[in-house]
Amino acid sequence: MGTLNQTRVIEFVFLGLTDNWVLEILFFIAFSVTYVLTLLGNILIIVTIAFSPRLHTPMYFFLSNLSFIDVCHSSVTMPKMLEGLLLERKTISFDNCIAQLFFLHLFACAEIFLLTIMAYDRYAAICIPLHYPNVMNMKVCAQLVLALWLGGTVHSVVQTFLTIHLPYCGPNIIDSYFCDVPPVIKLACTDTYLTGMLIVCNSGTISLTCFLALVTSYTVILFSLRKQSAEGRRKALSTCSAHFMVVSLFFGPCIFLYTRPDSSFSGDKVVSVFYTMFTPLLNPLIYTLRNEEVKSTMKQLRQRQICA
């Protein structure tokens, strides 16, 4: 508590993506459209699954949770970033900065765990289909979702504690457009090497471990497909390829950003933009455009609404 009382910085100033006002206007328009489409796309998936009994299966239960997390994840950073594009001085209070990085890591970690669970779900459905109803019933699914939120909360609390226990007495300029642990702790008035290593051990280990588990899961699935029929292989490959595409788009930036202790590259902002803005938009596009069952269900719901 003594360390917290030494905190002198009451706000942080973002450098943002650019200082060119023309680019800022263009970015504001593009990112506003991206954010609206992200919200509409993911909410549409949630509503479609909620009101379609045929989609009340473990796979679509997890998919609706993924859409919910994407809505929350994008909403942590994008509104503040859009506001900053319209302001000459982009600021955030110390408390709001800490809250932003807390929820950023909460939703990001929850998504990592959820993607790993979804990979296990596909493994169980394809490799042990006879046991699948017992292995992945809805009770188990609910328990897994509860566990991933608990795990995400613990991870986020650890990251937040490692950040706020440091003294901040200036400077207060963050070379980014949102608060995250690595750029914030660089502003601490003390040596942060140990803290940086702990952050890498926490975030980096989670990202790499889950990614390796995913790769292992899909490797086993690919080998098991040799015993499937041609139609079975086609459906399994379609579902798994969509899932693996989402995994690659999400885990790639996470591993790049959180496995490098005390380092900074000019490409970090570009990677962050993709990770916080475009991945939540691409998830519903990948799953809906490649999934005939979801598209047909949406069509039926639309026709039902028109008739009503």
Average pLDDT of the chain, as a whole number = 84
pLDDT of residue 91: 93
pLDDT of residue 182: 85
Give, as one character, the DSSP assignment of residue 165: T
For residues 31 and 191, is the Cβ–Cβ distance under 8 A?
no
Give, as one character, the DSSP assignment of residue 130: T
Q: Is the pLDDT of residue 265 over 70?
A: no
More confident residue, 105 or 275: 105
Q: Is the pLDDT of residue 261 over 70?
A: no
* DSSP letter string, 12-23: EEE--S-S-HHH
The one-letter code for the residue type at 66 is L
pLDDT of residue 306: 62
| DSSP run (H or E) holding 92 | strand 90-93
Question: What is the C-alpha to C-alpha distance for residues 205 and 21, in angstroms, rounded to an integer?
Answer: 39
Query: Tens of pLDDT along 35-86?
Result: 999 999 999 899 988 888 888 889 899 999 999 999 999 999 999 999 999 9
Question: What is the C-alpha to C-alpha distance for residues 144 and 138, in angstroms, rounded to an integer?
Answer: 10
> What's the Cα-to-Cα distance from 51 to each of 54, 76, 138, rounded to whole Å?
9, 27, 17
Q: What is the pLDDT confidence band of residue 18, given thresholds at 50, 70 and 90?
A: confident
pLDDT of residue 75: 95
pLDDT of residue 161: 92
Q: Give the percent of the chain with pLDDT over 90.
A: 35
Question: What is the C-alpha to C-alpha distance for residues 86 and 97, in angstroms, rounded to an integer?
Answer: 19
Q: How many domains does the chain have?
A: 1
Q: Is the pLDDT of residue 212 over 80?
A: yes
Q: What is the pLDDT confidence band of residue 181, given thresholds at 50, 70 and 90?
A: confident
Q: Is the pLDDT of residue 288 over 90?
A: no
Q: What is the pLDDT confidence band of residue 308, given thresholds at 50, 70 and 90?
A: low
CATH of the domain at 224: 1.20.1070.10
For residues 92 and 12, is the Cβ–Cβ distance under 8 A?
yes
Query: Tens of pLDDT along 275-284?
Result: 788 888 888 8
Q: What is the pLDDT confidence band of residue 99, given thresholds at 50, 70 and 90?
A: very high
5-9, 13-17, 261-265: which range is least confident on average?
Answer: 261-265
- By residue range, what is the domain housing residue 184? 2-307
- For 176-197, what is the mean pLDDT? 87
pTM over 0.85: yes
Q: Is the pLDDT of residue 258 over 90?
A: no
183 contacts: CB under 8 Å, gap ≥ 6: 174, 175, 176, 264
Question: What is the C-alpha to C-alpha distance for residues 142 and 190, in angstroms, rounded to an integer?
Answer: 43
Question: Could you count the other beta carbons within 10 Å of the beta carbon of residue 41?
Answer: 20
Q: Where are the beta strands (DSSP E) in 158-267?
A: 173-174
pLDDT of residue 5: 47
For residues 73 and 276, is the Cβ–Cβ distance under 8 A?
yes
Tell me the Ramachandran region of residue 259: left when phi exceeds 0, alpha when psi lies from -120 to 50, beta otherwise.
alpha
Of the candidates 109, 87, 107, the residue with the CA atom closest to the CA atom of residue 99: 107
Order of all β-strands in the sheet with 90-93: 90-93, 11-14, 173-174
Question: What is the C-alpha to C-alpha distance for residues 108 and 254, in angstroms, rounded to an integer?
Answer: 9
CA 81 to chain centre: 17
